Amino acid sequence: MRNRLRELRTEQELSQAELGDALGVSRQTIIAIERGRYLPSLPLALSMARYFSVRVEDIFSLDHKGGR
Burial annotation 15-53 (CB, 10 A radius, 16+ → b, else e) = ebeebbeebebeeebbeebbeeeeebeeebbebbbebbe
In terms of CB distance, is 42 or 65 closer to other proteins? 42
Q: Among 3, 9, 16, 25, which residue interacts with other proteins (rule: CB under 8 A)?
A: 25
The reply to whether 14 sits near other proteins by the rule CB under 8 A is: no
The reply to whether 13 sits near other proteins by the rule CB under 8 A is: no
The reply to whether 50 sits near other proteins by the rule CB under 8 A is: yes
The reply to whether 40 sits near other proteins by the rule CB under 8 A is: yes
The reply to whether 68 sits near other proteins by the rule CB under 8 A is: no
The span from the CA of 33 to the CA of 28, in Å, is: 9
